[in-house]
Structure 1
Amino acid sequence: MVTPVFGLLPTTDHRRSQEETMNLRRKAVLTAVLLAASAAVVSTTSASAGAARQELVCLVTAAASDHEQTLRRPSVVVDRLVEDTRSYRGRCVEYGERADLGNGELIAYSQADGSRPVSIGMIMTDGVLDGLPHDPPNDGKWCFDKDGNGTVDPMTECVGGYENQLELGWNFQRKVDSPFTYVLANWNPHGHIPVGVYNVPHFDVHFYVKPDAERTAIRPGPCPVLVNCDDYELGKRLPDAKYLAPDFADVDAVEPGMGNHLIDPTGPEFNGQPFTHTWVYGVWDREVTFYEPMITHEFFDGLRTGTINDGCFDFKLPGAWQESGWYPTKYCLRHRDNRGEITVSLENFVYRHAS
Structure 2
Amino acid sequence: MIRSGLPAPGLVPVALALAVALLAGCATSSKDAEMSGTFEGPPVAIGQGQAWTFVTLDEQGKAQTLGIRLSEEALSGLPADVPPSGAWEYDLQLPAEAAALGYDHVTLDWNPHGHIPEGVYDSPHFDFHFYAIDHSARDEITLDAASLERARKAPETDYMPEGYALPPGTEVPKMGAHAIDPSSSEFNGEPFTKTFIYGFYDGKVIFVEPMMTLDYLASRPDESIPVKQPAAYEKGFAYPTSYGIRFDKMGKRYEVTLEGLARR
Among residues 52, 77, 80, which one is paired with 1:134 in the alignment?
80
Task: Give the corresponding residue for 2:45.
Answer: 100
8 Å contact kept, 1:228–1:256: no
1:255-311 C-alpha deviation (Å, 9 max, x unpaired) = 0121111111111101011100001000011210001010100011100xxxxx301
Per the TM alignment, residue 98 of structure 1 is displaced from its structure 2 partner at its CA by: 2.4
Task: Give the corresponding residue for 1:229.
Answer: 145
Per the TM alignment, residue 340 of structure 1 is displaced from its structure 2 partner at its CA by: 1.1
Task: Give the corresponding residue for 1:250.
Answer: 166
8 Å contact kept, 1:116–1:326: no
| 2:240 maps to amino acid | P
* 1:289 and 2:206 aligned: yes
8 Å contact kept, 1:101–1:132: yes
Among residues 127, 131, 136, which one is paired with 1:208 in the alignment?
131
The RMSD of aligned alpha carbons is 1.7
Secondary structure at the counterpart of residue 249 of structure 1: coil
More strand per residue: 1
Per the TM alignment, residue 215 of structure 1 is displaced from its structure 2 partner at its CA by: 1.2
Task: Give the corresponding residue for 1:122.
Answer: 68
310-319 vs 249-258, which moves further: 249-258
Task: State the TM-score, normalized to the length of structure 2.
Answer: 0.82
Among residues 115, 119, 134, which one is paired with 1:192 in the alignment?
115
The answer to which structure, 1 or 2, has the higher relative contact order (CA under 8 A, 6+ apart) is 2
Per the TM alignment, residue 115 of structure 1 is displaced from its structure 2 partner at its CA by: 4.6
Unaligned runs of 5+ in 1: 1-69, 72-90, 143-158, 220-226, 304-308
Task: Give the corresponding residue for 2:104.
Answer: 181
Task: Give the corresponding residue for 1:313.
Answer: 225
Give the distance between the partners of 2:90 and 2:177, measured in 1 at CA.
Answer: 18
Aligned length: 229
8 Å contact kept, 2:224–2:243: yes
Unaligned runs of 5+ in 2: 1-32
1:40-86 C-alpha deviation (Å, 9 max, x unpaired) = xxxxxxxxxxxxxxxxxxxxxxxxxxxxxx79xxxxxxxxxxxxxxx
Secondary structure at the counterpart of residue 78 of structure 2: coil
Give the distance between the partners of 2:132 and 2:205, measured in 1 at CA.
Answer: 8
* Runs of 4+ that moved beyond 4 A: none
Larger radius of gyration: 2
Per the TM alignment, residue 212 of structure 1 is displaced from its structure 2 partner at its CA by: 2.1
